[in-house]
Every structure is written in structure tokens, then in C-alpha cells.
A and B are shown apart, each in its own frame.
Chain A
């Protein structure tokens, strides 16, 4: 019976042009989405490269200037920007701390449109004054991006619904169901086989389309085989979930129109409603502290600290006897006081900054706890992870930058407090930033999604068997 079903379903699908139509739609959607994604990644790469080139060029000028100064020539730069001063190097020649895109970054925009992908931390200024938000028109943020994640999470289920809402009901409506019932196969089995075949063909189409789109955009899917098969597996698991829902609805609900409305209702709940309600609740339960208040607090603190700069410097030197001993000239300038007070400000403001990070963490935990209500959230999260654009990735990047800013600052402290000049031979020792992907690829969600889908199929079997007395034939 399976082989008959297989043969005639395929014939039916081909005759009704479903397969042809689906291939074209999938190709268009996946192609457009992947193209958008690659464009974004390209721009991101170009911005980073441009920034790095600029620093390289700038470094060349700095070295020339250093060379001139070391040879005792007169230079025309403003006195406080001459790179023999370590603070001038630390402030006017910052390094680029860039977050390079992951190889699969184009599959999900995630938070890539919210955050900037490179910053240049300086010795002066604070870590929290480093602005990580990107300049985007808010309308752009409102509508979001047409990326692969959008196609997979939002549009693919709709295609599945259109593809499978009337598997049983159309037979009922055209009267051929009674004919089928005369065949030696249970109705559940028959619906299952029919849906299974559709799932099989759609999976084949999706896999082929993904490979074609990847190759067309010049990305070798097998170079990143783990991520690629992760993507494929996740997509198939998510598709299976929707086919399982279609199975349940086909068995329980009556006419084609009712089936379609029921499935669409489920789509709205799982894809639109649950994610936005969870997000809204997270925001209401754990509101972000006001940035304006934080800045006000920071300014007040700075004004206070500036008044006590001398005292602070004394305390600082007491804590760092190595600088006090090595210092022979005993000259203390603006930067000696400034850098010492910066440290104090940083320590004092830590609770305010931490409050922000804590709230963010709480929101994340909140969503993490309830994400299993909707597979759409799980899939979105996993895709963001694969793309390296998830909340966690940007959090890790921010932390790495903060650590680098600290390294950068500390690198110049011995120069500053020992009143040592920066020279050409110190140039190669300047610290540089290397972004390391902070999150591991988690593929554990894929088998779980499969399990949920299989569970739903099982549920359909059990319950429809128990109501068998009523008879599917007599419904509707």
C-alpha cells in the first residue's frame, strides 16, 4: 500500500503542479533571503576592513612622526598628539576591536542590525561610554530583515499549511474517502503516509534549494558541514512539527476551510503571539534601567572625583608602589590624575552597569524558561546561534571588548607613571584584539524538536483510535 500511495501521491503532486510551484516559491524565497543576508554580511566585512585599513595607514603616519621626533626633527603636529606621549598613542591611535562575521552569519540577522561590529576603545573615556548601538533607521528595525530565518520560521509553516490542510478533508468533500475506506488500510495510517510523503518531498526540495542557493551565492555548504547540516536538520525538525500539527488537525477537524482556519490559528499562536507576548512580559517584569539616569549618575560622580583628583592620585600611587619608586622626575600631569580617577569611577559605577547586565540576564532567563512553549522561538534562537548573531554572541563580544579596553589601558600605565616616552620599538608590542566566538554550536535542540513532532504524531494516533467508534467517515 505504501508503494502505491508513494507512486500516486507523487503523480498527483506533479499533475496538480504542487511540486513545481513549491520549488519555484522556495527557490525565490530562499534565494532572496540568502542574498539579503550575504549583502549585509558583505557590508559588515567591508566596514571592518575599511576601519582596519584606516588604522594601518594611521599607524604608518604615527611611525613616521615617531621617527622624526626620535631623530630630533621638528614636527608640525599639535603638541598633545605627538605619539611620544603614551597617552597620545592610547587616545589617538586606538586599535579596531572588531567582531568578524561567522561563516554562516547570513542565515539570521539576529541582533546584527542593533549592534555595531567594531569599536575603538581609547585609554581615556569609560567602558560604558563605549556605544555599541548601530545607526539604523528605526523603520528598518521595525520591519526587520527578510533573512533565511524569517523564511524558515514564518513562511515555511504557511507553505506546509497550504500544502497539507486538506489532505483528508478534500477526499471527504469529493466523496472519494468512502472508496478509500474500502482499501485495507486504516485512515490514520493513510493520512500519515500521505503527509509523510509530502514531508519527504518538501524536505528534498528544501535540501536541494538550500544547496543550490548556497552554491549560487558562492558559499560552499560542505565547507561548514556541521553548521550546514545543523541548519538542515533544524529546518526539517521544524517542518516535521508543522506536519504533525497538520496531521492532528486533519484527523480532528472537519472541512477544508475549518482545517485551514485551525492551522492558521495555530500558526498565529506559535509564530506571532507567543514570542511577542513572552518578549513583552519579559520587558514588563524586568524593565531595563534608564540610560539617562545612569549617565546622570556618572556625571555627578565624575564632577566629584575631579575635585578630589590629587587625593585620588596619592591613594593610587600608594596602591601601586612600583610606579612611585621608579619615578625619578616626580612630575605629575593631567593624565596621571585622570587615569587614577578613571579607575575609581569605574569601580564606583560597577553596580549601575551590573544592574543593566543583570536585568538583561533576567530577561534572557525568562525567555529561556518559556521558550519551549513555541518551537518558533527555539528555531530562531538556534539559527541566531549558528549565525553568531544571538544576544549571547553580542554579550560575549561586549565583554571581550571591555577586557581588551582594560588591556589597552593597562599597557600604557607603566609608560605613564614611569614617565617613559613611547618609541618606535614599542610599536610591535601594542596589544591587538581578536574576537573569539563566545558560544558553542548547540545542536541538542534538533532531536528534541523531532521528539516533540513524533510525540504529536503519536498523540494523533492514540486519540483518533479511541474515538474510532464515532468514525471519521461520518464526521463533517
Chain B
């Protein structure tokens, strides 16, 4: 309604006007967000069975969201100062929101998938099976690889029959087969990880049009609900599996005679069974792993501030 001209006639500088508008938008959002985060922190901290709660993580997440909101405040102010009618300003702001938060993530997901597709479940299973076949099957003493291993071991120990070995060869062969399989799984899961890290690059590229993407990835990472944390856990579980198999096979190899398939370990054996221990990644390592996301969010923050300041001179 032309109040801006009126304000200007009072000798109000652009800077002060901008600062006032910016804080008028930011302060209520900041207060509400801070109050909600504080409330959430107090609640979660006092839940007995909540699990891992960390004020540092909550504060980091708070910072991420505050940064994210600042970016949107900057964009909205920028649009508002450039348009003549409030209605149009609203529609343009809305379009920015649709593009950044609804369309871009979906488009990113489509592009990432068509560029770096995952294998189908059946392909994946078939590839694993093929690679397994290439090597030693610990449960098949008649295969070529098993015979080869037999010759090798006999030669190494300088004996001419498996019975003369100081350990049960069946257990030894099973362990070797296990090691081969573990390698196969490692290779194929690594391929998935590889595809995913390539997909991540697509997401990072499209973050140029959407601050939503880095904010989302960061908050998932801090909350331990992102893909990287899942892999971290899956890797720990896999190495636990490998350790358990090794323990069982070695126990069988060391304590039983060749051909003694009815061997049973005594009760004390199980005390030595490796225990699964898992520590979720620390906040520090999460942040360093997500430095690129933080960087992109930082660039958005700086760039949107910069544009706003640059723009305010020309109102």
C-alpha cells in the first residue's frame, strides 16, 4: 500500500529496513523452534528406555534446521522485495518451495536411479552365486577347489593323508570356504555401496536447486537413521558373523578328528564365543562424513544472504 515509500521518507536506511523485516520473520521461528527442541530434549532425556540420547546431536540438528529456515527467510524476503503484489510474491515463493522440496528430491531420485541403477534382487543373487561357484565350497569335499586345497595342505605339512594332519581338515576346509564366501559378499555389497555413493553425488549436484536435500541428509545422519549408519551397522554385523563362523570352524578343526562329524563342543566353549558389540558412530565422525552436505548448506546460507544484501541496495 505504499508504506515503504512512507518509511523511506522518515530517513530509514535500506539496511535497517531489511534487518527489521529479517528479524521479524526469524525471531518467532527461532523462538518456536528453540522451545520445541528444548522440550523434545527434556522429554527424550527423561525417558528411561529411549536408548542413546545426546544433547550435542540435538543441538546440531537444531543448528541445521535454523540454517535451513534462514535460507528460506532469505529467499522469501528476496522474492518479496522484487515483486509488486503480495499475491504474486506468495505464488512465486510457493513455486520455489514446490521445486525445492517436492519436485527436486523426486527428480533427483529418478535421475540417480536411471544413471546408477541397483541390480534387481535376482541379478544380485545370481551374481553372488556365480562368484561363490568360482571358489571353494566348504561343504563340498569333492569339488576341484577342495581337492586342490587338500593337495596344498598335505604338501605344507609334509604328510600323505588327511588323517595325519594335526587338525580336522573338514573344519579347516569349511573355514576356507567361509573366507571365500565372505569375500564374495564383501565384493557384491561393496558394489551396492559404490552405486549408492555415485547416487549421492547426483543428490549433491541437485542440491544446487534445493537446500532441502542437504538439510534432509544431514538431519537423517545426525539422527542415525540414514543409509550410511545402516551400512555401518550391517558391516559390524557381517564382521561379527565372520568372527563367529571362524570361531566355530576353528573349534571344530582343532578339537575333533578327521571324519568325526558327531563332535560336540562342551558347555564352556560358548563362553569364548565372540560377543557382538556395536557403537553407533560418534557425532564428530558423522559430521566429518557429511562435510559436503554441511558445505552445500553453508553455501546456500551465504549465497542467499549475499543476494539479499546485494538486492536491498536496489529496492
B partners with A: yes
A interface residue numbers (CB < 8 A to B): 32, 36, 39, 43, 47, 51, 78, 116-120, 131, 133-140, 143-146, 150, 154-155, 158, 162, 165-166, 170, 256-257, 260-261, 264
- The answer to whether A131 and B121 have CB atoms under 8 Å apart is yes
- The answer to whether B121 and A158 have CB atoms under 8 Å apart is no
- The answer to whether A135 and B90 have CB atoms under 8 Å apart is no
Which of A47, A120, A143 is B106 in contact with, Cβ under 8 Å?
A: A143
Closest approach, in angstroms, between the C-beta of A401 and any C-beta of chain B?
13
Nearest residue, chain A, Cβ from B212:
A143
Given contacts A39-B114, A136-B118, A137-B196, A143 and B87 within 8 Å (CB-CB): no
Residues of B within 8 A of A166 (CB): 87
Complex: A166 Cα to B86 Cα, angstroms: 11
9 interchain residue pairs of minimum CB distance:
A256-B87, A146-B106, A143-B105, A143-B109, A36-B110, A140-B109, A257-B86, A162-B91, A260-B90
- The answer to whether B86 and A135 have CB atoms under 8 Å apart is no
Given contacts A43-B117, A166-B87, A260-B87, A144 and B124 within 8 Å (CB-CB): no
B interface residue numbers (CB < 8 A to A): 85-87, 90-91, 94-95, 98, 102-103, 105-110, 112-114, 117-124, 142-143, 192, 195-196, 199, 203, 227, 230
Say whether chain A's binding surface is mostly helix, strand, loop, or mixed: helix
Which of A43, A140, A256 is B112 in contact with, Cβ under 8 Å?
A: A140
- The answer to whether B90 and A257 have CB atoms under 8 Å apart is yes
Residues of A within 8 A of B87 (CB): 165-166, 170, 256-257, 260
- The answer to whether B109 and A144 have CB atoms under 8 Å apart is yes
- The answer to whether A32 and B107 have CB atoms under 8 Å apart is yes
Complex: A39 Cα to B112 Cα, angstroms: 12
- The answer to whether B94 and A162 have CB atoms under 8 Å apart is yes
Which of B94, B102, B110, B117 is A145 in contact with, Cβ under 8 Å?
A: B110
- The answer to whether A116 and B122 have CB atoms under 8 Å apart is yes
Complex: A111 Cα to B117 Cα, angstroms: 17
- The answer to whether A47 and B94 have CB atoms under 8 Å apart is no
- Best-buried of A36, A133, A140, A256 by chain B (most CB within 10 Å): A140
Complex: A145 Cα to B98 Cα, angstroms: 15
Complex: A137 Cα to B202 Cα, angstroms: 13
Complex: A43 Cα to B113 Cα, angstroms: 11
Closest approach, in angstroms, between the C-beta of B133 and any C-beta of chain A?
10
* Other contacts beyond A135-B192, A162-B91, A260-B87: 11, CB < 8 A: A32-B107, A39-B114, A43-B117, A51-B122, A78-B143, A136-B113, A138-B227, A139-B203, A143-B108, A145-B106, A162-B94
Residues of B within 8 A of A136 (CB): 113, 118
Closest approach, in angstroms, between the C-beta of B76 and any C-beta of chain A?
13
Residues of A within 8 A of B94 (CB): 158, 162, 260, 264
Complex: A32 Cα to B108 Cα, angstroms: 12
Which of A131, A135, A154, A170 is B118 in contact with, Cβ under 8 Å?
A: A135
Closest approach, in angstroms, between the C-beta of B254 and any C-beta of chain A?
26
Residues of A within 8 A of B203 (CB): 139
